[in-house]
Structure 1
Amino acid sequence: MNNRFNKLSLFFYKNSIWFVIVLLIILGAEIYYLKDNFKVNTDLRALFRGTNETVMKLEKMEERVGSYSNILVLVSSPDRKKNIEFLSLLEKEIKDDSKIRFIDFDRDVSYLEERGLLFLPLEEIKEIESEVKKSLAGGVENVLSFGLESESEKEDETVPSFTDEDIDKFSRKVEKYKKKYNIRRYFETEGGTIIAMKVRPSGSDTSVSETKALVDYLESEVEKLNPSSFGVEVEVGGFFRNKIKEMEAINSDIFSTLIMCIVLLSLTIIYYFRSLRSLLIIFFPLSAGVITAAAAMQYFLGDFNIISAFSFAILYGLGIDSGIHLLSRYGEEKEKGSAPHIAMASCYRNLLSAVFSGALTTAIAFFALFFIEFKGFSDFGLAASIGVVTSFIAITVFFPAFVFFNEKIVPLKIRTRKITVLPIIYGALSKRPILLIGLMILLTIASLGALKYIEIEYDFDRLSFPNKYDPQSLSMRYVSGIKKDKTDEISTGLPSYILTDSIEETEDVSRALDVIKEEQPYPIRFKNYFSIFSFVPSDQEEKLRVIRRIKR
């Protein structure tokens, strides 16, 4: 075995320049490939397997109804007419674009306005009928009496009259219900100083790249219209803007975290080995392993998701251990006066099995995540396990070549910093095994007790970028306004969708939702729903009969 390591070490020593050239070629080719092909799939569905029930339902719904969320274009100014004028011009410019499915802005509500009485409860419509009948009866009685009733009869008169005030009262009730069902021409609040246009994308709602493309397009069209010439302020995106910012922050964090990791590790290596060359010796083979894993994942499995993309920053932290151990041990062997290839053979003979065991157990631990249903962690585990393996192989193969290449240029002087604190602590505790065991037991008990204080954060808003919901933004002002006005509630809640297979099923579901909205049996408040039967009130036939009698 010793002879085998010696021969292998001598082979690396003689051919070190070729190994360095091969490594640089591989590294360059992989970087070139990733430059054009490395992609992070920001579609949230990429975090789940295709057999996931939620994903399947989402795909089924998109197949039937297309996209289901809106991008808001909000305009604000003191002049309501200017707001409407600007959005009307914008609608003309963008309505035929293929990225847009439809636009909800200037709504024709005349049909609903003309039938506003239908939105009153049946009891109130019957009350109107009763008042009308009494008023008409009183009028007929007055005509037939020829105005000859006595003063006492006039004083005792109790026949109600249907006055303009009564009409106004019932008109206000009709307006109340029209407001409740959002039967208004425009989506507006704060007296029309903020007006919204809802743009429905033609692409997928979960694809951030498609959403960003549409938001960028809308912003460019807004700029062409020159909002300042209208005296209006415009905000494009609404809460979709937050989703785009979150994805941009994630993409930025992937690279910033990787760079920060490399910088900190570089400073640590330079400090510990007191040499810049030690950094190159460790980082080139390690980078080859990490980038090989990235290229292999991208080529064979496709795009990374927003979680698995973070695995490579972790791989630098995990893989660098092997390089540090090997270089440190090589320095110790050289201090004994051994020739470079003899020192390397002794280093590998004594340390390679331990480094291999560490890499193997780490790779197995990460690979266990592959079997999790959540694809975000599954891909993360696969990428990390592949990265640990490729890093170990790259370091094992190319580390000796880089050491020998540097030795041939200028002999290495590896002067590691001596860490004296840990040996002192270890020596003191090893002489007192009972104390050591007692401390470990106390630490274990304390750790178990601390488990109950561990909380899982389920509020994704707290995991997002700072000032996500800026109260001064138009989107937040709009949401606050419609909440106060109790209109357009579909823009303020968390929408769910129910697909039915027939008009009868739709009616049954609508009436069941009416009951839930009335009784509120669940902890989460059910605000409202919209279906075709939102505008086909219950008891409609009976209401129509009463209204016909009133009109007669």
Structure 2
Amino acid sequence: MEPDSTSQGERRWMVRVERTVGAVAAYNHRRPALALLLAVVLAAAGGFFARNLRLNANLVDLLPNSFESVQDLHALEQRFGALGWVAVVGEGGNAESLERFANDLSPKLEALPGIRFVEAKRPSAFFRDRALYFLSEDDLKEVSRRLEARIQWEKQRANPLYVDLLDEGPPSLDFSDLEKKYGGSAGQRLSNNEGDYYLDPDARRVVLLAKPDTTSADLGYSRRIIGEVRGLLDAQDLSKYGPDFRVNLTGTFQKKLDQQAQISRDIAVSSAVALALMLLYLLFHFRSALAVGLVLTPVGAGLAWTYGLVGAVYGQVNLLTGFLGAILGGLGIEHGIHLLGRYLHLRGDGESSEQATRESFTHTGGAALVSALVAALTFFVLGTSRFRAFREFGVIAGVGMLVLVAAYVLVLPALLGLTARWRWRPRLAAASPRHSPMGRVLVRHRMLITAVSAVLLAGLLTQVPRVRFDYDFRSLEDQGLPSFVLDREVNRIIGYSQTPVVVLTDTPEQEQAMVHALQETQRAHGKDSTIDFVASLSSLVPADQQAKQAVLQRLSKQLEDVPEERLSPQQREQLASLRREARAQPFTRNDLPASVRQQFQSRQGGTGGFVMVYPSVSLSDGKAVRAMAREVRGVDPEGVQRSPIAGEAMVMADILDMVTHEGPLILGGATLAVLLAMWATLGGLRMALLCLAPTVVSLLALVGLMPLMGAKFNYLNILIVPVLIGTTVDAGVHLLTRLSSPGSDFVAVYSETGRAICGGLLTSAMGFGALFLADHPGLNSIGAVANLGFASNLLIMLVAFPALLLVLSERRQRRRRACRVNENETTVAGTPGSKPATHTS
């Protein structure tokens, strides 16, 4: 396969770059001490800046501050404090001991510094005694009418002269229709009417909710609060509540710490396993411990430099960038396999160490530079995302790819120079074999292999419409962690979600208007509404209480006339409750239980209030969360300025909207950037398209394989698509660059380059495979999809693509032979005295 003159002309500037890289490598080979000293100084500086790197797994910090949900959340935290609770769960006692535990621990918890208040009891009794005030005046009159009808019926039956000709039954005292009508009110839902404690006697659990003063995003504060609570619990004599009594913690703060600890463990374990696998493979690939050291030393230096930059610029790593060490290590080792493999091959041909170094870095190094530039450009396109996890991943990975190439140019030639001075001569086993059986098979059966590959690809393309996007936000968190499992039980015991959406208001009038508008929206949506109920101080203090009191006073007198002897036990109990409720006095906000008031009051005082919107949908359902965000944000009370609407649901909705919007743009931008970069560096559009073809085909194969493997895209693993574009294109660059050299033999080039491609893709897969070992489901899915993509690319690069190149090359050679024959015939025909040539069509 020979490049045409046009392509050679277009690549002149790239040839100069390659020669420069080769010259720099040769200089470092001659002066190894200077190069290694510079590398050590840079690595030491990198280690210094990276020494205080910390992990931040908080999702809110991954969104830009310009987002509504982030600004509103900061406003809420400033006025209200922490979103969420520290939930203390006592388990293993009977109902009496569980209540005693709640009573004993509640004041001690509230005395801890940083705890604003503790909810140990439901406000059930307060709202139960005042339930009639939450009925409308008309419905109170309906209660009075039903009672009066029953009283008159009873009086008639008590008269011995009364004869019931119609034999009608007693008027019903069933008020279940009114209970159903008002059962969803804020007071009823918050009290839940299931006892005075957050207690489940069947599960033998009781819950205490402690409200910290600061947000759980501050991990140092979260650790201190959880540590203080655990210290208090450890100091208690739990045996007095039962022999099997125990205490566990859950809630937003404990879940955040558990997730942080899990991701830290994932990073440590997965990176260690990935490093071990890479070491084992390199030993198998090169059969030399020294060769393994030659490959890994530049990678270690490059990673030290990269994380030094990360520490200086960001100061922390996030959910994705924490794993970049393993990922960049795998991608960097790929360059080392190609460079050292070429060096060993040239040494086996009798080249001197310096000449082999210059030649390796001129050609293979040039290809490595092209592939690194292309990969970096793809990562930088990903770095344009507003989602901080993607943006930082893209920027750090892009810089890391360039830094790793620089590390190889600086360190590897210097190490090779030292080994040459130490008279190290690589064993022939370390070099790649001259000819592989697979290369001969490809040459012999190129047409059949190409046809079979096309059929398999067509079959996979039929599965593409079946690929699905997983809208379940549980892919962002491990729902199997003990604190997450217990938190769901706490929500069940409480009876509503612990994570409502909060609307901030400035005045009581705005608060009332917002509550009314939200309730109207809920009614308008009917059963499709994502709102469970709306609560605020204004909704907990009913209007028109004086007018209602007058009706209740008349009702109270009626209740005294009801003959109890003719009622069933259940009706007598209901009558006693009605008498108690009818005697209740009007109440104001100040009369509400302290535990209720504290939930709706600013920690800074003032007149500002809060409207709690409790969801009726699961916050792990992405589609439902987006619908809730639209429903709540669509509320616009007349005369009320825009109110901040904060909560986990709003943040999740913004993440999903952003990923959905940016995904196609990033994918298109990455593909275009890669194509333009290769066009510029490889010297022609045809060459660039050929290099990009295996990547595009492997991505299509990946999408087709996912439904068959039961895999789905989600909010995190969707980034694998542009990443695979940048990281798999270098295999095509290396193969085509070598085949384009004058006089290249396909079987020999395939034997050497194919082995390096296989090793490079395997080590890259091992780097991403570190995520496959993670317990975190989102990170795990990234590893699974990435490895499926690398496996597809490996098969295409080693089998389908080389066979296709052979077919295209054979076709091109036939056209050239035909052209030369036609030219010769034309020349002969134009010679004087010759007979005209005969052509058949």
| Cα displacement (A) at 1:107 | 6.0
Match of 1:87 in 2: 102
1:257-276 alignment runs, 5 A limit: 257-276=270-289
| Cα displacement (A) at 1:303 | 1.8
User: For 1:152, what is the secondary structure of its paired residue?
Assistant: coil
| Cα displacement (A) at 1:347 | 2.3
Cα distance between partner residues in 2 of 1:216 and 1:122: 51
Match of 1:211 in 2: 222
Are residues 191 and 311 of structure 1, via their aligned partners in 2, closer, same or farther at CA, if it must alter by over 3 Å? closer
1:26 aligns with 2:57: no
1:116 aligns with 2:123: no
Tell me which of 233, 241, 247 is aligned to 2:260: 247
1:193-232 alignment runs, 5 A limit: 193-231=204-242, 232=245
Match of 1:335 in 2: 348
* More off after superposition, 254-263 vs 434-443: 434-443
Are residues 351 and 421 of structure 1, via their aligned partners in 2, closer, same or farther at CA, if it must alter by over 3 Å? closer
Cα distance between partner residues in 2 of 1:503 and 1:263: 63
Letter in 1 for 2:262: A
Cα distance between partner residues in 2 of 1:111 and 1:512: 26
1:276-291 alignment runs, 5 A limit: 276-291=289-304
User: For 1:235, what is the secondary structure of its paired residue?
Assistant: strand
* Partners of 1:40 and 1:309 within 8 A in 2: yes
1:234 aligns with 2:254: no
Match of 2:306 in 1: 293
Match of 1:488 in 2: 495
| Cα displacement (A) at 1:411 | 1.0
Letter in 2 for 1:544: Q
1:119-198 alignment runs, 5 A limit: 119-120=134-135, 122=137, 125-130=140-145, 151-153=160-162, 180-182=189-191, 185-190=196-201, 193-198=204-209
Match of 2:526 in 1: 521
User: For 2:83, what is the secondary structure of its paired residue?
Assistant: coil
Cα distance between partner residues in 2 of 1:308 and 1:434: 44
1:324 aligns with 2:333: no
| Cα displacement (A) at 1:27 | 2.8
* More off after superposition, 410-419 vs 81-90: 410-419
* Partners of 1:261 and 1:316 within 8 A in 2: no
| Cα displacement (A) at 1:154 | 7.8
* More off after superposition, 105-114 vs 73-82: 105-114
* Partners of 2:442 and 2:449 within 8 A in 1: yes
* Partners of 1:272 and 1:416 within 8 A in 2: no
Are residues 44 and 210 of structure 1, via their aligned partners in 2, closer, same or farther at CA, if it must alter by over 3 Å? farther
Cα distance between partner residues in 2 of 1:518 and 1:469: 37
* Partners of 2:251 and 2:483 within 8 A in 1: no
Are residues 122 and 189 of structure 1, via their aligned partners in 2, closer, same or farther at CA, if it must alter by over 3 Å? farther
| Cα displacement (A) at 1:175 | 12
| Cα displacement (A) at 1:454 | 1.9
Cα distance between partner residues in 2 of 1:91 and 1:4: 73
| Cα displacement (A) at 1:275 | 0.8
Tell me which of 67, 73, 89 is aligned to 1:52: 67
* More off after superposition, 107-116 vs 306-315: 107-116
| Cα displacement (A) at 1:470 | 8.9
Cα distance between partner residues in 1 of 2:286 and 2:246: 58
* Partners of 2:54 and 2:317 within 8 A in 1: yes
Are residues 504 and 3 of structure 1, via their aligned partners in 2, closer, same or farther at CA, if it must alter by over 3 Å? closer
Tell me which of 385, 401, 411 is aligned to 1:372: 385
* Partners of 1:73 and 1:197 within 8 A in 2: yes
* Partners of 2:348 and 2:428 within 8 A in 1: no
Match of 1:305 in 2: 318
* Partners of 1:281 and 1:402 within 8 A in 2: yes
Letter in 1 for 2:504: L
Are residues 214 and 167 of structure 1, via their aligned partners in 2, closer, same or farther at CA, if it must alter by over 3 Å? same
1:421-440 alignment runs, 5 A limit: 423-430=436-443, 434-435=447-448, 438-439=451-452
Match of 1:256 in 2: 269
Q: TM-score, normalized by length of structure 1? A: 0.83
Tell me which of 338, 347, 353 is aligned to 2:366: 353
Any gaps of 5 or more consecutive residues in structure 2? 1-15, 558-841
Tell me which of 532, 535, 546 is aligned to 1:530: 535
Cα distance between partner residues in 2 of 1:230 and 1:419: 72
* Partners of 1:40 and 1:305 within 8 A in 2: yes
Are residues 77 and 220 of structure 1, via their aligned partners in 2, closer, same or farther at CA, if it must alter by over 3 Å? same
Cα distance between partner residues in 2 of 1:518 and 1:479: 25
Cα distance between partner residues in 2 of 1:14 and 1:141: 119
* More off after superposition, 240-249 vs 328-337: 240-249
| Cα displacement (A) at 1:172 | 9.6
* Partners of 1:72 and 1:199 within 8 A in 2: yes
Cα distance between partner residues in 1 of 2:366 and 2:532: 64
* 1:249-308 deviation digits (Å, cap 9, x = unpaired): 222222222222221111111111111111111111111112211110220233222122
Letter in 2 for 1:313: A
| Cα displacement (A) at 1:333 | 1.9
| Cα displacement (A) at 1:384 | 0.3
User: For 2:300, what is the secondary structure of its paired residue?
Assistant: helix
* Partners of 2:46 and 2:309 within 8 A in 1: no
Are residues 452 and 99 of structure 1, via their aligned partners in 2, closer, same or farther at CA, if it must alter by over 3 Å? farther
Cα distance between partner residues in 2 of 1:15 and 1:126: 100
User: For 2:469, what is the secondary structure of its paired residue?
Assistant: coil
* More off after superposition, 53-62 vs 430-439: 430-439
1:367-516 alignment runs, 5 A limit: 367-409=380-422, 411-416=424-429, 423-430=436-443, 434-435=447-448, 438-439=451-452, 441-461=454-474, 464-465=477-478, 467-468=480-481, 475-480=487-492, 482=493, 488-491=495-498, 495-515=500-520
Q: Percent identity?
A: 20
1:15 aligns with 2:26: no
Cα distance between partner residues in 2 of 1:532 and 1:244: 32
User: For 1:225, what is the secondary structure of its paired residue?
Assistant: coil
| Cα displacement (A) at 1:365 | 0.9
* Partners of 2:303 and 2:325 within 8 A in 1: yes
Cα distance between partner residues in 1 of 2:350 and 2:168: 122
1:75 aligns with 2:80: no
Are residues 197 and 168 of structure 1, via their aligned partners in 2, closer, same or farther at CA, if it must alter by over 3 Å? same
Cα distance between partner residues in 2 of 1:132 and 1:8: 100
Any gaps of 5 or more consecutive residues in structure 1? none
Match of 2:56 in 1: 41
Q: Number of matched residues?
A: 535
Letter in 1 for 2:389: G
Cα distance between partner residues in 2 of 1:306 and 1:416: 42
* More off after superposition, 115-124 vs 355-364: 115-124
| Cα displacement (A) at 1:335 | 1.8
User: For 1:527, what is the secondary structure of its paired residue?
Assistant: strand
User: For 2:363, what is the secondary structure of its paired residue?
Assistant: helix
Cα distance between partner residues in 2 of 1:337 and 1:504: 89
* Partners of 1:138 and 1:160 within 8 A in 2: no
Cα distance between partner residues in 2 of 1:170 and 1:510: 24
User: For 1:371, what is the secondary structure of its paired residue?
Assistant: coil
